[in-house]
Structure 1
């Protein structure tokens, strides 16, 4: 199953609590909570290019499954990590204290980010 496509954020749970937990400044949390987010994924075999655009903020990451890569994070820092593929439709990566699981299910992209016992869930639809 190919992840390639554009996805628009449909709903999210625990945005504010999660952003506070990873120390995103309050003014950025307030500004970002109601913005629509577009995720664009280009997959070529095990190579991925992912661009997440939220308002004027753009996060761009490129990686190959199983190879260490520098990742740009929500907070603007860079983190070295490895993305693993679980089955044909689930990407898993640990970025410092945050574990990110991205799962493709039909025309939905489900992102689950966990820090400690706090989970932030994003559901996006293919557009």
Structure 2
């Protein structure tokens, strides 16, 4: 599957194990409560190997711009903190991962499953899944 399959506007429908994932990231309680209540919209734009992922919530928007195979400033979608990361395609999966020096930052794997975009995020051995439908 081509990277272009991710392009479009996606509305989050559900999440699984998100609270345990936030605990593994050591997210403060007030931030965690807000994160659990939000169902963001994701706008994904693809131009060759360049990808822009914009997460739009009620209080803020976080835009992640990256080029496959190049180190970039990775923005944590929950805390908004910036770290160094790298993105790649592994088969049909878009993988966005932080540098090894950031063990509490999530690795995100994006897949197209049927007509859904599924984002599996993991920190250590804790994972969660967020499912988005085309808007």
After TM superposition, the score normalised by the length of structure 2 is 0.86
Bigger share in strand: 1
The answer for the alignment partner of 1:75 in structure 2 is: 79
1:62 aligns with 2:65: yes
Please tell me the root mean square deviation across aligned C-alpha atoms, in Å. 1.3
Q: Which runs of 4+ in 1 moved over 4 A?
A: none
Q: Deviations over 1:91-125 (max 9, x none)?
A: 11222332211112332110001112111110000
After TM superposition, the score normalised by the length of structure 1 is 0.91
Q: How many residues align?
A: 126
Unmatched segments (≥5 aa) in structure 2: none
Which one of 24, 27, 35 corresponds to residue 27 of structure 2? Answer: 24
Unmatched segments (≥5 aa) in structure 1: none
CA distance in 1, matches of 2:38, 2:87: 27
Q: Deviations over 1:48-98 (max 9, x none)?
A: 1110112212211111111111111122211111101122x3111222332
